[in-house]
Amino acid sequence: MLICPVCQSPLQVSAKIFRCTLNHSFDIAKEGYVNLHIVQHKKSKNPGDTPQAVQARREFLSAGHYAPFRTAVADIVHKLQAGVVMDIGCGEGYYTQALTAQTQVLGLDIAKSAVQIAAKADKNKRVCWLVGTSSALPVASGSVNVCTSLFSPLPKQEIYRVLDVSGVLLVAVAAPRHLYAVREALFGTVIEHSPDKYLDVLAPEFVLTDRQQITVPMQLDNQSLRQLIAMTPYAYKATAERRAWLERQESFEAVGEFCVMLFKKTVMVEYY
């Protein structure tokens, strides 16, 4: 189902190389991923999250702080009984790995350093790991049953294109009071998140069919608190003084609140 990012013809794999009919070729890296992010699609030399943010997120998530959210998302996807799932913006693969039960899974991210970590950690090679841009998904039209976007980009037209006629989109975003205490400490004034805005963002191509909120209380030690700050946009949006104060705290109570929404693909004009 993979297509060439240069000419959009199908890719075939042989001897650890993906190649299309026009002879564009892409090597499978030693870690087990393939880089389909071509220079024509790049807006910077190293797009996506910084290696520092990727490492902080990996360490924070590996400690299990968001495990209840991960389990809830995996349960929802498994109940959909999808044959092919594509996780857009997969990062270092923490959530993607949980989606693999009896399902073919593709994980795509624009950050090469994140996909390298994900592929290396995937000892059983249960996921097809891809470096690529969500604005031009290297996947054939109508070849995916479920797309997931967990705190990640929502390239609406591309998601619509790759999903089959009964395709489902799972979107996870911050609920109104997600990490409220952390944001209050860093910024003083807090504006609550607005998950409902995504209903308008995704209309009319997608219509909401279900939603739920998942709440995860956390007692963070200093190390986990620093990792949480470093893996979010808070790291560069807060003032140096406020960030330094928060990073000195030996322990901190925080609550993760996640809004998970399911959308179905509507029948309308095809994208080309």
Question: What are the tokens at 140?
Answer: 């054939």
Question: What are the tokens at 136?
Answer: 């031009």
CB neighbour class for 184 (10 Å; exposed up to 12, middle 13-18, buried from 19): exposed
Question: What are the tokens at 256?
Answer: 């993760």
Q: Is 178 a known ligand-binding residue?
A: yes
- Up-side HSE of residue 271: CA atoms within 13 Å toward CB? 18
Nearest 5°: phi and psi at 98? -80, -5
CB atoms within 10 A of CB 42: 12
Strands (E), the chain: 12-14, 17-19, 25-27, 33-35, 84-88, 104-109, 127-131, 144-150, 163-174, 206-221, 251-265
Whole-number Å distance between alpha carbons of 222 and 252: 8
Residue 183 · residue 163 · CB < 8 Å: no
Residue 241 · residue 185 · CB < 8 Å: no
Which of 165, 141, 154 has its CA nearest to residue 202? 154
Q: Is 90 a known ligand-binding residue?
A: no
Whole-number Å distance between alpha carbons of 34 and 26: 7
Point out the annotated binding site for Zn(2+).
4, 7, 20, 24
Point out the annotated binding site.
4, 7, 20, 24, 66, 92-93, 178
Point out the annotated binding site for S-adenosyl-L-methionine.
66, 92-93, 178
